[in-house]
């Protein structure tokens, strides 16, 4: 098994792709997958920044494979960089096809989140983000 054959990061969301998430051709919307990845990255960034965050940029989004209805989609997230007010996370979406029970990476992208204060303005990321990342990676 190569490094490319396995997910990287922590599980931040796991859900099932439903018929309501399809386009008229019966494929799962790319926008639905992107929104799951944004939610997953946002959840991780909130934990690291200990508060509110907003997505400010997404880079290098690649759809490798389609997602089928009924597929179990898992979003893995990991910290790439801590800035003054921003956190950069890599997010991978993997899908398990119900009928064959195999997992494959379907989509990946790099998300930048900004930590916000109560008024919606950027706030410094609190010290200790790397330690919180390590704790997340090690699990409960
Ligand atoms: C998030 C927001 C308050 C930031 O305000 P801002 O005045 O642009 O903030 P700044 O210019 O101080 O940048 C904040 C951080 O984002 C980074 N940043 C800004 N634009 C960026 C871009 N295009 N790509 C990557 N990082 C970027 C800056 O480098 C800075 O990071 P640092 O402090 O770690 O160096 C504002 O852009 C906003 O409200 N955007 C809309 C967010 C939104 O609605 N998202 C979707 C729903 S969550």
* Cα(35)–Cα(118) distance, integer angstroms: 24
* Cα(116)–Cα(68) distance, integer angstroms: 36
On the question of pLDDT at 2 being above 80, the answer is no
Most confident stretch, 19-23, 89-93, 95-99? 89-93
Domain count, the chain: 1
Between strands 102-115 and 72-82, the pairing is unpaired
**49 Cβ below 6 A of ligand 1:** no
Rounded mean pLDDT, 96-110: 89
On the question of pLDDT at 24 being above 90, the answer is no
Query: Does 102 or 108 have the greater pLDDT score?
Result: 108
Query: pLDDT tens digits, residue range 122-131?
Result: 999 999 999 9
Going from the Cα of 110 to the center of ligand 1, the distance in angstroms, rounded, reads 14
Residue 12 phi/psi, 5-degree rounding, is -110, -20
**84 Cβ below 6 A of ligand 1:** yes
In this structure, are residues 104 and 92 in contact, taking their beta carbons and an 8 Å threshold?
no
Residue 59: give the domain boundaries. Answer: 3-138
In this structure, are residues 122 and 53 in contact, taking their beta carbons and an 8 Å threshold?
no
In this structure, are residues 125 and 86 in contact, taking their beta carbons and an 8 Å threshold?
yes
pLDDT of residue 113: 98
**16 Cβ below 6 A of ligand 1:** no
Rounded mean pLDDT, 10-30: 94
pLDDT of residue 29: 94
CB atoms within 10 A of CB 108: 20
Going from the Cα of 79 to the center of ligand 1, the distance in angstroms, rounded, reads 17
Rounded mean pLDDT, 49-76: 96
In this structure, are residues 45 and 116 in contact, taking their beta carbons and an 8 Å threshold?
no
- Residue 86 is part of a domain; what is its CATH number? 3.10.129.10
The confidence band for 25, taking pLDDT boundaries of 50, 70 and 90, is confident
**74 Cβ below 6 A of ligand 1:** no
**77 Cβ below 6 A of ligand 1:** no
The closest residue, in CA terms, to atom 22 on ligand 1 is: 57
> What average pLDDT is seen over the chain?
94
User: Model's pTM, two decimal places?
Assistant: 0.95
């Amino acid at each position: 098994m190569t490094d490319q054959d396995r997910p990287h990061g922590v599980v931040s969301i796991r859900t099932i792709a439903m018929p309501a998430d399809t386009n008229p051709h019966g494929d799962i919307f790319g926008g639905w997958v992107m929104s799951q990845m944004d939610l997953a990255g946002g959840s991780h960034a909130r934990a690291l920044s200990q508060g509110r965050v907003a997505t400010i940029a997404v880079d290098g989004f690649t759809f490798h494979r389609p997602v089928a209805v009924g597929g179990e989609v898992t979003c893995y997230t990991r910290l790439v960089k801590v800035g003054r007010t921003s956190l950069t996370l890599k997010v991978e979406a993997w899908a398990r096809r119900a009928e064959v029970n195999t997992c494959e990476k379907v989509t990946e992208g790099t998300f930048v989140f900004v930590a916000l204060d109560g008024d919606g303005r950027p706030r410094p990321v609190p010290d200790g983000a790397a330690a919180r990342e390590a704790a997340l990676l090690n699990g409960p």
